[in-house]
Amino acid sequence: MVHAPGGNSLMPRERLLSVRGHSVAWLPPLLVLVAIALIDATTGVFGMIAWTVLVPGIAAATCGVRTTSLFAILSLVTYSLATTVWRHRDETGLAGFVLVAVGGLLATLACVVRVRGERRMLHMRDIADTTRSVVLRPLPSGWGGLDHAAVYLSADTEARVGGDFYDIQPGPHGTRVLLGDVQGKGLGAVEAAAALLGTFREAGYHEPELATVAERLEVRMLRHRSHTAALGRSDGDRFATAVLLGFPEDAPDCVDVVVFGHEAPLAAGPGRLRRLAPTGGLPLGFAALGSGLPPVCRMDLAPDETLLLVTDGVTEARDRDGRFYPYADELGRAVAADPRLTGPDRLVAFVRDGALRHCRARLTDDTTIFAVRRLRR
């Protein structure tokens, strides 16, 4: 789920310690304070009241600044009452009072630092989510006459955005789909993905031929590399693997496929799974090194078949023994056992869960799983 900017004012630890949306982060330090006071009042042999210095520290780890400062004051008041009213106070005195006071002050300062860090983290997360929503725009249900589902998992849990990209662009010449993976990581990869998606959204709508869309993407990759090289950046040789699909209006039982050095799509139908094997080419940005752009291959596609596209976060997921995740073999057995698995939502969820289980949720690369099929009329 994407975090909505400003949608939740609770800090991460307070959100974990909440009941029906109300924070109960104050409960653990309060219970500790009450327990220390009761033990000291009933036994009086261990000088337990001095342990109240721990209470503000516990509050600093789970509560806000105001609550932490309140517990610092309560701890000091409790200690003062114990030393003046209760018995067995020979082992306490001014030194203990100073200890509790200094401990409360330090705990409050530590809480200020923690809260500022968490707010900064939430702000950066909002920026990352906003960037992601711009690069990977939300796709309406049934967009372009296609039923679709997608999962994006960032290898960097803090960054939440990477170089994987996908989109659907309907137009007067049919609906086009693009999925790809920019080489490298960081903001440079995001910038390249945004450039390619911008070109795809324009060319995919206006150009009548899918081959022209592919050519526009290649030129855009070259222009982007030229620009970054002119800036003196070290990512001037960046490239991208991609799969470009076209769903022509005049051929409802076919799909046009262009593969730029990427994993070929899988076609999942009830009880069967097959790999589309179009003639591929080099990644975007490297066409000049080979025989030119990859050709547009028209492949048969049954009305009940769903196309599955993944990035190398799935294909390169490894277990503890270094074995790659055999997602195609595992998915083939699952589809044969359960024909209902071919729906885009269930297909994407199955591959996501299998990849995370195989690598024990330790992704080494950004992972995108995208499934799409024509809407049944």
Tally of domains in the chain? 2
In a 13 Å sphere around the CA of 197, the CA atoms on its Cβ side amount to 22
pTM for the predicted model, two decimal places: 0.72
From first to last of its 377 residues, the chain has per-residue pLDDT tens of 333 333 344 455 555 566 666 777 888 888 988 888 888 777 765 567 778 888 999 999 888 899 999 999 998 888 887 777 655 455 556 777 888 889 999 999 999 999 888 888 877 776 666 666 667 888 999 999 999 999 988 776 555 566 889 999 999 999 999 999 998 877 788 889 999 999 999 999 999 999 999 999 999 999 999 998 888 887 767 899 999 999 998 888 999 999 999 999 999 998 899 999 888 889 999 998 888 899 999 999 998 899 999 998 898 899 989 999 999 999 999 999 998 899 999 999 999 999 999 998 888 888 999 999 999 76
DSSP-based helix, strand, coil % in the chain, nearest 5:
50, 20, 35
Residues 293 and 150 reside in one and the same domain: yes
Residues 83 and 199 reside in one and the same domain: no
Residues 172 and 232 reside in one and the same domain: yes
**Average pLDDT over all residues of the chain:** 85
**Residue 93 located in a structural domain:** yes
Q: pLDDT exceeding 70 applies to what percent of the chain?
A: 85
Structure tokens at 371: 């499934």
Structure tokens at 160: 């939440």
C-beta separation of 31 from 69 below 8 A: no
* Domain span at 304: 139-374
Residues 287 and 342 reside in one and the same domain: yes
Q: What is the CATH number of the domain that holds 287?
A: 3.60.40.10
C-beta separation of 118 from 12 below 8 A: yes
DSSP state of 138: -
CA–CA gap between residue 166 and residue 206 (Å, rounded): 18
C-beta separation of 5 from 126 below 8 A: yes
